[in-house]
Amino acid sequence: MGRRALPKINPTIDYSAWFIDGKQLPDDWKLASLFAKDQPLEIEVGTGKGLFINSESGRVPTHNYLGIEIAQKYARFSASRLCTSGRTNAIMMAGDATALFKKFVPDQSLAAVHVYFPDPWWKKRHRRRRVLNPHFMRDIERTLKIGGTLHFWTDVQEYFESALADLATSTYLEGPFEVAEIAPEHDLDYRTHFERRKRQLDLPIYRSEFRKVKAECCAAPLVSLEESEGIDDPGMSSDDSAMLDFEGESQLEYDATTIDSTDIDDDNDGPNHITSDDRSRRDTLDD
């Protein structure tokens, strides 16, 4: 059974202070202007319905959190949750994380980068679209402070192993460090909705943590996407491709019912959320 579309946000909620459209940022925009308090900054790439950024920003009020989500609907939905929770240290941004990192995130400015359950792009010819590619890994390394961490989790073993291999050859990041599975203390005590669903199905989760220990980045040359063999659309990033899913014919429609963001079905990403992973799996089956 397909999952229901994401519910509408209650129109009485003014979440504008928690939402930024990355496409509207001026060229001279500064990341440091986001928060009133100067605190360590962490970025989550691909927030989905926002469980992690909402929970973590409440758990660690001494850090600032920026969530970047390619799908406007989910970025706005997550922003509404932050608004409802009254977070003063977390903001959502809609946009292509790979482009935003390159343009707006300064060197050695982040305490952590979080990438949880990104689209695995199952088809071999599409794997270059994965967000954790060597080029973006370099940008993550560049933007992390010394001692800063990269957190990468997935339920796809092949993606996990290939990403770890690329991190070893494309960066100086130290790791992977083992991340222990922690028993939840309550029904939503998970890193993401996707983790919750997978663990309740007793399916494996592959977790890793990396740490920046050197100021310099790995100097080994990378082949550009344009120069890579077999690239039919070299200008398309993984996030550009994902945007096609949300802006094309397969775009999700809101449920007819308007609800408050506190009333969403937090059972998992579904039935209210079709994840990028599920779209790719569906596409594979449709072949």
Q: Give the C-alpha separation, 269 to 274, whole Å.
A: 7
Q: Give the C-alpha separation, 78 to 250, whole Å.
A: 21
* DSSP states along 231-260: -S-TT--HHHHHHHHHHSTT-----SSEE-
Q: Give the C-alpha separation, 240 to 10, whole Å.
A: 29
Number of helical H runs and strand E runs in the chain: 8, 10
266 assigned to active site: no
Catalytic residue among 119, 139, 269, 277: 119
State the binding site for substrate.
Answer: 123, 155, 192-195
- 236 burial via Cβ count (<10 Å: 0-12, 13-18, 19+): middle
Phi and psi dihedrals of 165, rounded to 5?
-65, -40
Residues with a known catalytic role = 119
